């Protein structure tokens, strides 16, 4: 069972990666994770983002340098502590993520068009159960 789920997850990851590469700007998986992390937690600091994407603080800082240079991310000093750097997406960054979500949805829709409707319903039900189980088993998992 676990091998079958892992195989399906691999196919989905391949599909997502292809969708990401077809949507400008072309971003690495780590860059996407960082942007999605910032989108989900506007004003997140570098330390928390490092934890979120499982990267070292220096690597995250360099990653943010590149994202900021690309106009996708903005760094500001926190109002509460001028030593702390907080991160927010720029409008260009928000648009890039929005385009990616649409591209990924289209790719999934295209694949699901080859699956019978009843099996699609079963798939959705199973994925929802998996998500609930993951949230219970991995309480630190971000939404």
Give the pLDDT band of residue 45 (cuts 50, 70, 90): very high
Q: What is this structure's pTM?
A: 0.75
Q: CATH number for the 19-137 domain, one of 1.20.1250.20, 2.40.110.20, 1.10.10.10, 3.40.309.10? A: 1.10.10.10
- For the ranges 3-7, 48-52, 80-84, the lowest mean pLDDT is seen at 80-84
pLDDT at 119 exceeding the cut of 50: yes
pLDDT at res. 140: 64
Does the structure show a pLDDT above 50 at 143? no
Tokens of 20: 């990401």
Whole-number pLDDT of residue 141: 54
Residue 113 half-sphere exposure, CB side, CA atoms within 13 Å?
7
């Amino acid at each position: 069972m676990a091998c079958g789920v892992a195989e399906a997850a691999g196919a989905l990851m391949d599909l997502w990666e292809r969708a990401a590469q077809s949507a400008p700007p072309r971003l690495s998986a780590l860059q996407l994770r960082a942007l999605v992390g910032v989108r989900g937690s506007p004003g997140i600091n570098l330390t928390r983002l490092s934890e979120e994407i499982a990267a070292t603080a220096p690597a995250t800082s360099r990653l943010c340098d590149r994202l900021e240079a690309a106009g996708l991310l903005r760094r500001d000093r926190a109002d509460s502590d001028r030593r702390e750097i907080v991160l927010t997406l720029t409008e260009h960054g928000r648009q890039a993520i929005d385009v990616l979500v649409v591209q990924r949805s289209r790719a999934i829709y295209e694949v699901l068009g080859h699956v019978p409707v009843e099996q699609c319903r079963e798939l959705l039900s199973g994925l929802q159960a998996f998500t609930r189980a993951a949230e219970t088993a991995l309480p630190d998992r971000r939404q």
